[in-house]
Chain A
Amino acid sequence: MNILANSKFNKKNGNPPHIKKINLENFGPYIILIVLALAYLGPIFMLVNTSLKTQTAFMRDAASLTTTFEIKNFSEAWEKANFSKYLTNSLLYTFAATFIYLITSVFIAFPIARNYVKGSKQLYTLYIIALFLPTGLIPLFQLILHLGLYNTPIGYILLFLVNPMGIMILVNYIKSIPVEIDEAAAIDGCGYFQFVIQIIFPLIKPALATVTILHAIRIWNDLELATIYLTNQNFYPITRGLIVFRGVYGSNWPMLAAATLMLTIPMLILYLFLQRYIVSGLVSGTIK
C-alpha cells in the first residue's frame, strides 16, 4: 500500500513547485532508498511472477512478465508437496514448544527478578553464560539418541524448550512491576502459583508477546535441527518439507515458486500486523 504512496511521490516530483515537502535535497535519499528497495522487492516480485507462469513460458524466458495466471501451480504444489501434513507438524511443534517454554520460563524469571530463591543472582548468571558457550550440537545429538527420542516429535520439541534470551527479557520486565502487588496479593491469601498465573502473566503481556515471537519464529524457521533430528517424512516441519519438495520438483520453478509463495504470504501478513512485536522480538533474539 505504501508503494502507491511512493509512486505518487515520483509523479509529484515531476511538477514540484506547489509541493513543499519534496525538494531537491530529498531527492538523493529517495534514490538510495528506492535502489535498495529494489533488492528487496525484486526477489518477491520474481517469485510472484514465476508462480503464475507455465513451465514452458518460464523455460522460454525466465525474466519476462507472465501472460498467464496459472493458479493450478498452487493447487498442484499444495497436493504434491504434502503441505497440509508439514504445516500441521510445524504448527504443532511451534505451539507446543512455545507454550511449554513460556510457562517454565516465567517460573524461572519471576523468582530471579524478585530474589525469591536462594542463589537467584548465580542462577541468572548461569543463563547469561549460555550466550557465550559453544554449541553442544554433538553431545546433544547423542543424548537425544540414547534417550530414544531421535526421530520423534517429542525429541524435536524438547530441543526448543530453552532460550536464555527470553529469560533475560522476562526478568528485566518483571523487575519493573512493583513488589507491593506481591505483598497485597499475599495478604489477601493468594498462593504463589495462583499469583504468578493469575496476576503476573496478565501484567507482563508485552514481554510475553516479544518472547513468544522471538521463540515461535525461531522454531517455525528452523531447518538445522529438523535436518539432524528428523528422518521420517511424516514428522517433517514445513521448512524441511519445502527442501524435500525442491529436491523432487526443483526443475519446475513455477510450481516451486508457488509452493514458496504460499509459505511466504502468511508470514508477511503476520509481519504487517504484528510488526512492532516482531521487530523487537527478533532483534532481541539476535542480541545473543
Chain B
Amino acid sequence: MNYHFGKGRSRLTPYLLLIPGLFFYILIVLGPSLATSVFSFTDTTGIKGSVIHWIGFANYKEFLFMGNASHDNLAVLGRTLKFCFYVTTIQFVLGLIAALLVNKKLKGTAFFRTLYFMPVILGVVIQGLMWSLFLYPLGGPVSKILEFFHLQSGFFGGQPSEAFACVIAVQIWANMGITMVIFISGLQTIPDELVEAAKIDGANSWQVFHHITWPLLTPSVNTNLLLNVIGSLQAWQLFMVLLGYRNETQVLGYLIYAQGFGQTSGSVTSSFRQGYAAAASIVLFLIVLVIGLSVQHFLQCREERILG
C-alpha cells in the first residue's frame, strides 16, 4: 500500500472521505440487519414511547407452534417454497430456451432479446397493472381465449389457487429476461469452433447441446439457479400489487410486512407486532440460508462431476 498523496496529517484524507459512506452503510444496512435478531426476542410494536419486553423465544414458538395462526404460518411457509419451486424451474427453462434461440445467428433476434428483458425495467407497479388489465376477467383477451376452450377463470380475483398461479406467471414473465441475459453471456463464452468441429464430426443439435453447450454453461447455470431460488423466496411485492393481503395466497415476505406494518399502510398510529415480524424475518433468512447453501453444495458437486 504505497500512498502517494502526501504524509503526516494529509495521510488521513482517504479515511475522512470514506466515513460518510461507511456511516450510511452501518446505519442503514449492517446495524438494522444485525439488530433484527435482537428485536425478534422482544414484543416491540414500533410505537414511540411504548414499553418493550424481552420475551425470549415466544415469538418463534407462536409463529411455528401455537394454534390456528401457526397452522396458517406453516401453510405460508409451504406456499413460499412452492412459489420458489415453480418460479425457479419454469423461469430457468424458459430463460434457457430464450437464450439459446436469441443467441442463434438469425434475423431479428436483437428485437426479441430487447422485448423479453423489457419488464425488468418497469418495476412491480407497472408490471402488476399491465397484467391486471391483460387478465381482466370480464371479457379481457386471455379470458376470451379461455372461453374459446370452454374454460373460465377469475384470475387475480378467482380462487386463491388460481390467483396464486397467476402471480407465479407474472413473476416469471417479469424476471425471465434476467435469466436469459445471464445465459446469453454464458453462451458467448463458448467458442464457435468447438460447436463447428462437433458438427463436422456428425453431431446433431441435441448432441451438441448435451455434450458441449450444457456442460460449458455450468457457471451461468449456477448463477441463475442461486439467483432464482433466493430471489423467489424473498419476493412478495407482486402479491401486494396484484392481490393484496389475501388469505391462502400470502408468502412469507408479505406476512413479515403485514405483521410489521399493517396490511395496507405504514401508519404508526395502530399497534403492529414488529417483534413478531422480526422473528418471521429471521425464519425467512434461515430458510434462504439453508436452501441457498444446499443448492450451492449441490451445484458444486455437480460442477466437480462435470468439469473435474
Using a CB–CB distance below 8 Å, which chain A residues touch chain B? 2-3, 5-6, 9, 21-22, 26, 29-30, 32-33, 36-37, 39-44, 46-47, 50, 61-63, 104-105, 107-108, 110-111, 114-117, 120, 123, 126-127, 130, 132-143, 145-146, 150, 158-159, 161-162, 164, 179, 182-183, 185-187, 190-193, 195-196, 217, 220-224, 227-231, 239, 242-243, 246, 253, 256-257, 260, 263-264, 267-268, 270-272, 275, 278-279, 282-283, 286-287
Contact = CB atoms under 8 A, between A and B. Distances in A.
Nearest to A39: B173
Report whether over half of chain A's contact residues are helix, strand or loop; otherwise say mixed. Answer: helix
B281 A137 contact: yes
Interface in B10-58: 10, 13-15, 17-18, 20-22, 24-25, 27-39, 44, 46, 48
B219 to A, nearest CB: 12
Given A29-B101, A138-B36, A260-B130, A62 B6 contact: no
6 contacts: A33-B112, A107-B20, A256-B133, A260-B133, A286-B178, A286-B231
Contacts of A243: 125, 241
A138 B22 contact: no
Given A107-B20, A192-B5, A279-B181, A135 B36 contact: yes
B277 interface: yes
A162 B28 contact: yes
A169 to B, nearest CB: 14
B263 to A, nearest CB: 11
A237 B33 CA distance: 26
Given A3-B111, A192-B10, A287-B227, A138 B260 contact: yes
Contacts of A123: 22
B265 interface: yes
B296 to A, nearest CB: 11
Interface stretch (B139-147, B160-168, B192-200): B139-147
A139 B17 contact: no
Q: Most chain-B Cβ atoms within 10 A of its Cβ — which of A117, A192, A224, A229?
A: A192
Interface stretch (B72-80, B81-89, B113-121): B113-121
Contacts of A2: 108, 110-111, 114
A187 B44 CA distance: 57
B107 A21 contact: yes
B285 interface: yes
B255 interface: no
Contacts of A222: 123
Contacts of A179: 2
Contacts of B182: 283
B133 A278 contact: no
A231 B98 CA distance: 42
Contact of A50 (B101, B133, B277): B133
Contact of B130 (A5, A44, A114, A230): A44
Contacts of A132: 289
Interface stretch (B208-216, B266-274, B300-308): B266-274
Given A47-B130, A283-B178, A161 B35 contact: no
Given A145-B46, A182-B4, A161 B15 contact: no
Interface of B: 1-6, 10, 13-15, 17-18, 20-22, 24-25, 27-39, 44, 46, 48, 94, 97-98, 101-102, 104, 106-112, 114-126, 129-131, 133-134, 136, 138-141, 143-144, 173, 175, 178, 181-182, 223, 227, 231, 237, 240-241, 256-257, 260-261, 265-268, 274-275, 277-278, 281-282, 284-285, 289
Contact of B122 (A62, A117, A139, A221): A221
A26 to B, nearest CB: 6
Given A46-B133, A146-B48, A253-B136, 11 more contacts: A42-B134, A50-B133, A107-B17, A107-B20, A126-B30, A134-B281, A136-B34, A190-B5, A193-B13, A231-B267, A257-B133
A36 B1 contact: no
A255 B220 CA distance: 42
A103 to B, nearest CB: 8
A287 B240 CA distance: 24
Contact of B181 (A130, A136, A271, A283): A283
A80 B98 CA distance: 41
A254 B4 CA distance: 63
A229 B136 contact: no
Given A42-B134, A227-B265, A138 B240 contact: no
Contacts of A224: 237, 257
A272 to B, nearest CB: 7
